[in-house]
Structure 1
């Protein structure tokens, strides 16, 4: 594992409410644990929401790619490692590695984050005290490849589901928790795929926030066998809030 003083490592055990009917951890549950590890990491290094609150800025996830070798099973102990992986213009990069406690790789993920001005809800330029962390970032050859290219776009929905954003769906930025985008995007995938396949790759792009009481629609298009495009939109104004591409095995 990477050698950096910014590394955060936490052990977990897969719990009953985090599994599917096959007793394996769901991808949304895995995503939530990665988000928890990221939160604890920024608290540890003094870059959390509460540290930045006085500056009227907050971190917002904009893009994530997840590759899964194997989803852990009920009661299986796992370890999540995460660390800041540098800056790309106004964006911050973060990597995740998920493994068994014996070191077997389970999944890894590269992610891109921006600073949002909490007053205007627009992108903010990182201040100098944030950019100063660049001196402590690990070498590029020790990090995951940076995310490039565009997410494949859905053209015509084959499956869909409707949702309303409720209070318990919100995070502390007062918008729809980003792990629910993943869950709601995957819900309309045919049940045979969810039951008989495992997600191998997810590429998700977060384009806009959703707020309390929003009516949303999740759409899925089957591109090829075991390959899907996804999006979440707000029918009231036609705005696409997120796009995603998944591959199953």
Structure 2
């Protein structure tokens, strides 16, 4: 594991409400566990939403890649590790590792975040007290590879579901919860794929915030067997809220 005092580790047991028909943890549930671990980590190190609120800045997730080796079973004890992994210009990097209690890898994830000015809703440069954490970051070679390259964009719609953002879909910033983007993107994938294959890789790019009462469309295009492009689209203003790519395996 990485050499940093910023590491956060949590033991967890897969709950019944987090599994699918195969009694395995779903990828949306796995992403929620990662989000919770990240929140607890920034609370622990003093960089949480509430610590930054007096400075009128807040963390925003912009991109995440999740690589799944296998999905844990109902009631299986697992362990999650997360840590801030450095800065790339104005962006902050964060890694996640999920494993069994015996250390068998289950999933890993690299993510990219930025600081947003909560008054203007625009990107803010990290202040000095945030950049000071760079001295405590793990060595670059111990971290996951940085996310690079552009996502392939959806060009046609093979499958679609419509959604309306309701109160219980919002996070504490009153925006559509990040993990619901993932769930809604996966929902239109054909049931045969969801039942017979496992999601092996997800790359999601967050572009805009969903608001209460927004009418949204989740669109999916199969670009080759076992590979899909996804997007969340708001017809009212033509804005794309998120793009994603997924790869599935038997």
TM-score (norm 2): 0.99
SS in 2 for 1:133: helix
| 2:183 counterpart residue number | 183
Superposed CA offset, 1:216-242 (max 9, x none): 000000010000000001011110000
| 1:156 counterpart residue number | 156
**Alignment partners' CA distance in 1, 2:56 and 2:173:** 12
| 1:123 counterpart residue number | 123
Q: After superposition, where does 1:58-207 map in structure 2 within 5 Å?
A: 58-207=58-207
SS in 2 for 1:73: coil
Superposed CA offset, 1:94-143 (max 9, x none): 00000000100000000000001111111111110000001111111000
Runs of 4+ in 1 over 6 A off after TM superposition: none
**Alignment partners' CA distance in 1, 2:188 and 2:120:** 34
**Alignment partners' CA distance in 1, 2:156 and 2:225:** 16
* Structure 1 position 3, deviation (Å): 2.1
**Alignment partners' CA distance in 1, 2:127 and 2:110:** 23
| 2:41 counterpart residue number | 41
**Alignment partners' CA distance in 1, 2:227 and 2:50:** 39
**Alignment partners' CA distance in 2, 1:13 and 1:159:** 34
| 2:225 counterpart residue number | 225
| 1:248 counterpart residue number | 248
Residue segments in structure 2 that go unaligned for 5+ positions in a row: none
**Alignment partners' CA distance in 2, 1:91 and 1:3:** 21
**Alignment partners' CA distance in 2, 1:140 and 1:223:** 34
- Contact (CA 8 Å) 2:3, 2:139: kept in 1 or not? no
- Contact (CA 8 Å) 2:65, 2:147: kept in 1 or not? yes
SS in 2 for 1:174: coil
**Alignment partners' CA distance in 2, 1:3 and 1:78:** 21
Equivalent pairs counted in the alignment come to 249
* Structure 1 position 152, deviation (Å): 1.1
